[in-house]
Structure 1
Amino acid sequence: MSRAYPQFLASRCARYRYRYSACSRCADACPHEAIALSDEGAALDPARCQNCVLCVSACRTGAWESESYVPVETLRRAIRQTQFSFACAPSGLPADAVVPCLGAIDAATLAYLARRRIAVTLHGSSRCEGCAHAPCGAEQLALNLDACSTLATAAAPPDAAWLAPVLADDARPKREPKDAGFAAGRRQLFRRLIGRGVDELADAADPADPAESPPAVPDKAIRAGAYALPEQRELLQIVCERRDGQHVEVPLHDALPLMALKLRAGCTVCEACFRACPTGAIRIEESPSDWQLRFDADRCVACGVCMEVCQPRVLEAVPAFDARPEQPPRVLLALAKQRCARCDRHFVSAAPAETCPVCRDDEDAFAAIFG
């Protein structure tokens, strides 16, 4: 197995795209504290890294890649067989594919193989407790298996049972009690998506209150980058397709790069969500007379950076949603363009206004200089 360390692609990272993002998925998944986070993204310490590649599977946006485990190459081998086995490298057990850690096999890969009715066996989970990658590897494995089960319940037609992956020797990774694990997972997901502490949100002013305008995001806080759609998300488009046309109702899950958004009243039309999105899931479409903010669920990976960058906090994740692919983009907000009384340019504003933002800025600057 290659000892090439995971490589970081900054332009895909939520922390790079939005300087104040609180995303820490890769660092949380690393059992060796080898990842340092900053407002430039993340950096790997090779002296600490043990090549478990849990950071790769944990990242929503595909900001981490590794030569040690390339899921697509493994899938090409697996789909030619009716049975396929994985084993983790620390266990030393033989298998069709040896991976750095069983937790690195993401939920999308497991669900895709289950959808194709390939009998998958996972070897090595009985040795998780004493592994150098514990407890993160076992926790991630349990989360991915739970996500695979969730997808099977939602997406599998009644006449096409999936072949769920099986842990060899009936050994299962330890998990918290169901209720406690559910609550803890939801709390972590909430903080990760919103990017603030619960107490801070409780004390915040009502974002829809017009009397108090939220601060604008500084221009330098959002960095441009090419759109990229991770392989996990592309696999889930296949997994969530139903030939019978029925809805695929999927709940928000911390191991699935799936999400749907809704927009409450109070949007300031700052377009920060559009500029920060690393996959192009949020788009703006304009005509000479109209402006629309659109959401394409097929491109959303649930990184949550759009909700972090939204200063009025009016973008929200939907708890459960239809995950079928190729649904038309939803219009979150549509506005008619206005014409500036001073410069005669068209502009968009959340409320009726006489002048455009450029002219208002000029007026404010003139007043500040000359009084």
Structure 2
Amino acid sequence: MFGSSTFKILTPDHPVALTPARCLRFRLNTSACRLCIDTCPHQAWSLSATGLEFNQAKCRGCLLCQGACPTGACEGAPLGVEKNLTELSRQPQPVLGCDNNPAPAHERLPCLGLLAHPEVLLAVAAALPQGVQLNRSRCGQCRNSAVLPRLELALSRVRALIPFPGLLAIRPVQEADDLRYQAPGISRREFFSLVRSGSSNSAVRALGRLTPAPPAPPYRNKKIPRFRALLLRFWPQIPEDMRPRVAATCFPRVETAPICTGCTGCVGICPTGALASSALAGAPPAVQPGDCTACGLCAAFCRQQAITVTPGDASFAAG
């Protein structure tokens, strides 16, 4: 039998990794993007003669780079945030903690730095209308303490931009004694059912990591980054009267000038699939604002300089 520590060694997974096919610098050699470099407090990202490099030994898993990168090029192993929020929604007074804090929590993230993005906070607010307690009682002493001002900034700014009650119900808790943690009450049958389910899920995840990693996604693959995927996943739970304001805050505006020739080069270079070829030959591309993260790659690539990308109001993820 393998012990848990053995599985940990045999099935290494890291929440941060570089996917070159999604990086702006790799997709367009004239790109000067350095958002991950400027955001990382541990200098895990750097530039070399061959391009962007990631030093996993320096990475402390604060996840700030994932909020800064508009294309998801920094995303490593799946974090299961959607499942975290779904489980928290079943608690009357949910507590969300991190892996480095042993205080009681209903769910945990690798680091609360993942929340330092307005769209992630909006997803949390939509999924947890009853509110959530963020256990940051040890954040000040943690090696990832740099996430605190970023998280506070993101929360204060998105609250100022969007009068969404759920945002006010996100409550950072600085002292462990102030946490209102209530252990979930379950029957004996439910307990053993959860144990069996948890063991099965752990085994599936472990076997998945033991399987050889698939090749890096090709250049043509389109994928929205984690922060946008979370917002869209919980979009139906945002009150209808709030959605126009949320869209104006988070979704960029992409405009094409009459000089556009409909060459579709922008469609090919877009990393998220926000641009699609028009059904009419020579017409400008069709735009899906919800899939656009204002990376600006289409505008930089357009030879006619026919594209203008205007970020939404909440384009401050990098702090």
What 5-or-longer segments of structure 2 have no aligned partner? 177-217, 314-319
- SS of the aligned residue for 1:166 comes to strand
What 5-or-longer segments of structure 1 have no aligned partner? 172-222, 322-371
The one-character-per-residue Cα deviations of 1:165-205 (angstroms, maximum 9, x if unpaired) are: 1111489xxxxxxxxxxxxxxxxxxxxxxxxxxxxxxxxxx
Bigger RCO (CA 8 Å, 6+ sep): 2
After superposition, residues 287-306 of structure 1 pair within 5 angstroms as 287=280, 291-306=283-298
Identity of aligned residues (%): 28
Q: Among residues 103, 118, 121, which one is paired with 1:107 in the alignment?
A: 118
Q: Is the 8 A contact 1:111 1:152 kept in 2?
A: no
TM-score calculated relative to the size of structure 2: 0.66
Q: Whole-Å Cα distance in 2 between the matches of residues 109 and 162 of structure 1?
A: 11
Q: Is the 8 A contact 1:114 1:165 kept in 2?
A: yes
Q: Is the 8 A contact 1:284 1:293 kept in 2?
A: yes
TM-aligned CA deviation for residue 294 of structure 1: 1.9
Aligned counterpart, 1:18: 28
After superposition, residues 76-155 of structure 1 pair within 5 angstroms as 76-105=86-115, 106-116=117-127, 117-124=129-136, 127-128=139-140, 130-135=141-146, 137-146=147-156, 148-149=158-159, 152-153=162-163
TM-aligned CA deviation for residue 63 of structure 1: 2.0
Q: Structure 1 residues 65 and 30 mapped into 2: Cα distance closer, same or farther (>3 Å)?
A: same
Q: Is the 8 A contact 1:103 1:141 kept in 2?
A: yes
Q: Is the 8 A contact 1:4 1:67 kept in 2?
A: yes
Q: Is the 8 A contact 1:8 1:65 kept in 2?
A: yes
TM-aligned CA deviation for residue 293 of structure 1: 2.1
Q: Is the 8 A contact 1:53 1:66 kept in 2?
A: no
TM-aligned CA deviation for residue 18 of structure 1: 1.7
Q: Among residues 245, 251, 258, which one is paired with 1:249 in the alignment?
A: 245
Aligned counterpart, 1:45: 55
- SS of the aligned residue for 2:278 comes to strand
TM-aligned CA deviation for residue 227 of structure 1: 1.0
Q: Among residues 50, 56, 71, which one is paired with 1:61 in the alignment?
A: 71
Q: Is the 8 A contact 2:131 2:166 kept in 1?
A: no
- SS of the aligned residue for 1:55 comes to helix
- The one-letter amino acid paired with 1:299 is D
Aligned counterpart, 2:225: 230
Are residues 1:274 and 2:284 paired?
no
Are residues 1:168 and 2:173 paired?
yes
Q: Whole-Å Cα distance in 2 between the matches of residues 274 and 58 of structure 1?
A: 23
Aligned counterpart, 1:351: none
- SS of the aligned residue for 1:65 comes to coil
- SS of the aligned residue for 1:285 comes to coil
Q: Is the 8 A contact 1:19 1:40 kept in 2?
A: no
TM-aligned CA deviation for residue 277 of structure 1: 0.4
Q: Is the 8 A contact 2:66 2:74 kept in 1?
A: yes
Aligned counterpart, 2:198: none
Q: Is the 8 A contact 2:123 2:231 kept in 1?
A: yes
Q: Is the 8 A contact 2:81 2:109 kept in 1?
A: no
Q: Whole-Å Cα distance in 2 between the matches of residues 87 and 295 of structure 1?
A: 38
- The one-letter amino acid paired with 2:244 is V
- The one-letter amino acid paired with 2:124 is L
- The one-letter amino acid paired with 1:273 is C
Aligned counterpart, 1:308: 300
TM-score calculated relative to the size of structure 1: 0.58
After superposition, residues 201-212 of structure 1 pair within 5 angstroms as none
Q: Structure 1 residues 88 and 320 mapped into 2: Cα distance closer, same or farther (>3 Å)?
A: closer
Q: Structure 1 residues 165 and 245 mapped into 2: Cα distance closer, same or farther (>3 Å)?
A: closer
- The one-letter amino acid paired with 1:119 is G
Q: Whole-Å Cα distance in 1 between the matches of residues 295 and 271 of structure 2?
A: 9
Q: Whole-Å Cα distance in 2 between the matches of residues 290 and 264 of structure 1?
A: 13
Q: Structure 1 residues 82 and 28 mapped into 2: Cα distance closer, same or farther (>3 Å)?
A: farther
TM-aligned CA deviation for residue 17 of structure 1: 1.9
Instruction: Write 1 or 2 for the structure with the bigger share of helix.
Output: 2
Aligned counterpart, 2:184: none
* Larger-gyration structure (1/2): 1
Q: Whole-Å Cα distance in 1 between the matches of residues 76 and 225 of structure 2?
A: 13
Are residues 1:261 and 2:261 paired?
no
Q: Is the 8 A contact 1:27 1:35 kept in 2?
A: yes
Q: Whole-Å Cα distance in 2 between the matches of residues 127 and 312 of structure 1?
A: 49
